[in-house]
Amino acid sequence: MRQVKEIISEIESYKSDDGNWLRLDELVTELWESGKPEIGIDALFGVFEKNPTDDGAGVFWTILHGLETLEYEQKLYNSLMDKPSHMTITMLKRIENTDSDTIAGKSISELKSFVKNNPKIESELIDEI
């Protein structure tokens, strides 16, 4: 088995080949099989940030479900503050649908307002918030 840092490095540098996300799917599986997926949280949010309007042909949903098994809320908050994406907005809405008013101890409504006005947000994502 490869070192977790090698897997993470490959995830960080991954670029889709004309919409083919199969290798990323394999890398995500390999990360979880390493038994240390929490080490790759930043890299996984980085995938969302580099592809803000994409769902990775379903692979990003695998990432989302995996992240939800970890301690991820602060990293989600940071990602939304830095470079909002379709998948991070979806994650925020999923938390909000649990009747939670906060994420990482901060107000969801205030975060949503900030995200809508974030100059880094893709215009097509604003209506998702």
Q: What is the pLDDT of residues 57-108, one digit of tens each?
A: 999 999 999 999 999 999 999 999 999 999 999 999 999 999 999 999 999 9
Tokens of 87: 């998948």
In the chain, beta strands by DSSP E: 102-103, 106-107
What is the predicted pLDDT for the residue at 1?
60
pLDDT band at 23 (very low <50, low <70, confident <90, very high): very high
Q: How many CA atoms lie within 13 A of 70 on its CB side?
A: 21
Length of the chain: 129
Output the pTM of the full model.
Answer: 0.95
Pull the structure tokens for residue 70: 């970890």
Which residue bears the tokens 């990482």?
A: 104
Tokens in use for 107?
């107000």
Task: Please choose, from the candidates 28, 49, 17, the residue with its C-alpha nearest in 3D space to the C-alpha of residue 118.
Answer: 49
